[in-house]
A and B are shown apart, each in its own frame.
Chain A
Amino acid sequence: MGNHRKNLLSKSLTYFLLLAGTVVVLLPFWYMLITSMKPQAYIFELPPRLWPSEVSLINYQKALQTDQFGLYFMNSLFVAVLTTASTLFVSSLMAYAFARLKFRGKEVLFYFLLSGMMVPPVMLIIPQFIVAKFLDLPDKFLGLILVYITMNLSMQTFLLRGYFEGLPKEVEEAALVDGASRWLIFWKIVLPLSRPGLAVVTIFTFLFAWEEFPWANVAIKETTKRTLPIAIALFQSQHLTEWGQVFAASIMGIIPVVIVFAVFQKYFIRGISTSGLKG
């Protein structure tokens, strides 16, 4: 009886704390959503309302029609999708070599690659900018994509190598005996078996490319090539009070992220707990 009551109390406390946390997390998002639907006249209303007195989609309309956020959205999508696909390909190739092939200097090369994770990304911006200028990449999506792939390589190769090593070897060995090439084994056996691992790479890389700001801010100066994060930040710095439009564009920026996360959530949590954190 006493135990039962104690349990009930602890359960209530758990839910209370979780709900309090939920409010702290969601309130700002709610406020952003509401603000994005307020006409300009209500942006600095007092008291600030958490429930709109008048719902309007004018900010979304303006953001899409006069301020080209549709274009920036498509730019971001293009960059993020290509970055993700290329990172998947390049890092799984490397991970396969590190997981299954025998060659000289494997360990050294692997740790050399991992050292890339130690480098703070922003410190690379200056020299990357100079390299990009040298390769004539500024103001090109390719300049964003190549740098994004590279910045993800070490981490994603590390994750995938761990995943590939966990796969049963028997199928691959049988295929080798049957004379299948390494490429065929990689493409037809290893990759299809690794969907959960590849899902983790997909979600991390997509989120990274979708939200990356420092490099895009340096590399892209041409208005029509802006990605969503720099477009939103620049719009806000030029239209200091037009928060409705800023947040309308922000909501549009959040939607794909939430979709990707919702679709891959299961893989994501599993990915972190199985491969992300072993050492």
Chain B
Amino acid sequence: MITIKNKTNQSVQAALFLLPGFILFLTFIVGPMIYSFRISFFDWNIIFPEKSTWVGFANYLEAIRDPIFRKAVLNNAVYTLVTVPGQMIFGLLVALLLNQQIRGKAAFRVIFYLPVITSWVIVSLLFEYMFSGQAGLINYLLRDVLHIIDQNILWLADPVLAFIPIHLLGIWKGVGWTAVIFLAGLQAIPIQLFEAALVDGANRLQQFRYITLPMIRQTTIYLVVVLTAGALNAYISNLLLTNGGDPLDQTHFILTLMYEETFGNLEFGYGSAISYLLTIIVFIISVIQIRLLRNQEQV
């Protein structure tokens, strides 16, 4: 009897503790998601929603057939394939370096973390300035110091070269975070494993290959999934460095295109369809990555 009463009592209490959070969660995440799903099947009229017309899958089909959308997907794919390995390689390197008995460890950690905590807006503008075609620092270094190029490059006016600053920024900004997560993984490895390996005469490379890498597998899976989702959702750097798609809608990411269609052209239905397509892409890729990486473990 007492336990039953206690349990109902606890349920009431739990409801009170959970209420504020779930009201917000339903109002600003779940509700909007459902609503957005609905919108994506309409030619949505933002001023008179009741005048919107049902178009079925037309928005989705339009996106899939649209060469600009396809280019945006390709741009995101390349960005992901460049920046995810880039962040992971440099992040692991930094973590390995910091996981030793060295002086100034805390200072290095703060320094490498600085780009992570600086807002995307600020670092994007900073890269825009450094890569400016006029008298940018990068052009100066390449032309007058290293003599690699003999003319200033107009980085941001070129549909291919514009991605160099965007990719470099993606890696530069993310390495610190990746390193901290790797560092946590490295510090969780029992030191006895290395001691035993040392007794067995394993050199550093062998230790890395047969102890470190397998022991940080969980960390690695986590990073691959999270970084990939992040790269597919990249948005601010592209918006600020190329105004979204300049030149000629060639440099869009999926989200800058979504933003332009929605708030520039007021195509809310089409924009919603694009964001759902992106969510589906991210979800499928995450599942595949988790499956693949888990399976490798069992083999």
Binding site for B on A (CB under 8 A): 11, 14-15, 17-18, 21-22, 24-26, 28-29, 31-32, 35, 44-48, 90-91, 93-94, 96-97, 101-104, 106, 109, 113, 116, 118-128, 130-131, 146-147, 149-151, 153-154, 157, 182, 186, 207, 210-211, 213-214, 218, 229-230, 232-233, 236, 243, 246-247, 250, 253-254, 257-258, 261-262, 265, 269, 272-273, 276-277, 279
Contacts and interface: CB of A to CB of B under 8 A. Distances in A.
A150 B24 contact: yes
Nearest to A270: B184
Contacts of B236: 213-214
Question: Nearest 7 pairs between A and B by C-beta?
Answer: A127-B32, A211-B119, A273-B184, A123-B275, A97-B17, A127-B36, A150-B28
A29 B22 CA distance: 41
A71 B233 CA distance: 31
Nearest to B98: A18
B229 A258 contact: no
A123 B29 contact: no
A211 B121 contact: yes
Given A233-B125, A254-B118, A273-B187, 7 more contacts: A32-B126, A113-B25, A125-B262, A154-B25, A229-B122, A265-B110, A276-B181
20 contacts: A18-B94, A18-B97, A21-B90, A21-B112, A93-B21, A116-B25, A119-B29, A126-B32, A126-B39, A126-B268, A127-B33, A127-B35, A131-B27, A182-B17, A213-B121, A214-B236, A232-B121, A250-B126, A258-B114, A277-B184
Interface in B192-237: 218-219, 222, 229, 232-233, 235-236
* Count class of interface residues, chain B: 35 or more
B119 A126 contact: no
Interface of B: 7, 10-11, 13-15, 17-18, 20-22, 24-25, 27-29, 31-33, 35-36, 39, 46, 90, 93-94, 97-98, 100, 102, 106, 108-115, 117-123, 125-127, 129-130, 132, 134-137, 140, 144, 172, 176, 180-181, 183-185, 187-188, 218-219, 222, 229, 232-233, 235-236, 240, 255, 258-259, 262-263, 268, 271-272, 275-276, 278-279, 282-283, 286
Residue among B106, B259, B283 with the most chain A CB within 10 A?
B259
A32 B188 CA distance: 38
Contacts of B176: 25
Nearest to B263: A218
B21 A91 contact: yes
A89 B99 CA distance: 36
Nearest to A89: B20
